[in-house]
Amino acid sequence: MEYRQLGTSSIHASVITFGAWAIGGWMWGGSDRKEAIAAIRAAYDHGVTSIDTAPVYGQGLSEEIVAETIQDIPRNRVQILTKFGLRWDVQQGEFYFKSKDNDGREIDLYRLASKESVIKECEDCLRRLQTDYIDLFQIHWPDSTTPISETMEALLRLQEQGKIRAAGVCNYSKALMQEAEKTIDLASDQVPYSMVNRDIEKELVPYSIDRNKAIIAYSPLQRGLLTGKIKPGQSFGEGDTREGNRFYTTENITSINQMLDRLRPLAAEKKATLAQLVLRWTIEQPGITIALAGARNAEQAVQNAKAADVKLTKEDIAFINEKLSALELVMP
């Protein structure tokens, strides 16, 4: 495993970080606690020391599972990355969308990042995670109803109190990061990035490289699409947001699978799966610091961790980029 510094903070995270959304069950068809614990432990045993979670992942369940799993691991050997700013327990801030919790109850999600809410959420996260500090505390989504300076001042207060080691953002544009940095030194921005979703390369990547900010890439496997296991005509379960998504049309699935077929010989040469090759390519891209990879069982977690062992030469990366440049997707 490799470890990289998050911006100028003192945090060094594993290049493959455990993404803990799915284990919370919310929007993933429920959670198997025993399997989830085994997945995190297997990842840790293979060098994955960083875990990215959030309160909304199962409305607290993901954080509670993380806490149970790492309780016998020395706290300074694991990095907990969690979030704030998505509330389902109040009707304040900016309405986001309607959903259902793991028990099928309807909930309304709001983006809320007021000073009072940030401080409350931090205390709630500390309690659920059974720890006295959070390594990286990140706003989950921008909140248009709260001045960015107010949110960042709350983070600065929490940092001064030792309750968080570093502050980060998620889904922030370059402009939003610039505004936030008038108040606090951000460690990172967590954003979607994959072989087929590279919009951040235009502005955010150059900015982050120039300002020494970490980019945490989420959905690097494009929610399974870049594993080669999703075929045209794939049926998704009820509530699966991939159904109807622009990447999952028959035409795009077909084109992406054809591209992946051209990468299979390279993966075989590296004794890697397609998913491992894709994850390694992701963390080799300029500006990308770490990649999040979710797992719902131990086998998946180990496979994700082993992506860090794949070695790609400049020629390998050029070959992959050549195949990607020929990929044509139909986007609305």
pLDDT at 31: 76
- What is the tens place of the pLDDT at every residue in 220-254? 999 889 998 888 877 776 656 676 678 888 899 99
Closest to 79 (Cα-Cα) out of 131, 7, 143, 26: 131
Q: What is the CATH number of the domain that holds 286?
A: 3.20.20.100
- What is the tens place of the pLDDT at every residue in 93-122? 999 999 999 999 999 999 999 999 999 999
Instruction: Evaluate whether residue 279 is within a structural domain.
Output: yes
Contact 19, 55 (CB under 8 A): no
Instruction: Evaluate whether residue 110 is within a structural domain.
Output: yes
Instruction: Evaluate whether residue 234 is within a structural domain.
Output: no
Instruction: Evaluate whether residue 135 is within a structural domain.
Output: yes
pLDDT at 332: 75
DSSP-derived letter for residue 197 is B
Residue 14 burial (CB < 10 Å; 0-12/13-18/19+)?
A: buried
Q: Quick check: is 248 catalytic?
A: no
Instruction: Evaluate whether residue 249 is within a structural domain.
Output: no
The residue from 57, 110, 172, 193 that is catalytic is 57
Tally of domains within the chain: 1
User: Residue 87 pairs with which residues in a beta bridge?
Assistant: 110
pLDDT at 239: 59
pLDDT at 249: 86
Q: Which domain holds residue 151?
A: 3-227+273-310
Residues of the chain with pLDDT under 70: 237-241, 243-244
Instruction: Evaluate whether residue 238 is within a structural domain.
Output: no
Instruction: Evaluate whether residue 14 is within a structural domain.
Output: yes
pTM, full prediction: 0.96
DSSP-derived letter for residue 75 is G
Q: How many CA atoms lie within 13 A of 94 on its CB side?
A: 15
Instruction: Evaluate whether residue 150 is within a structural domain.
Output: yes
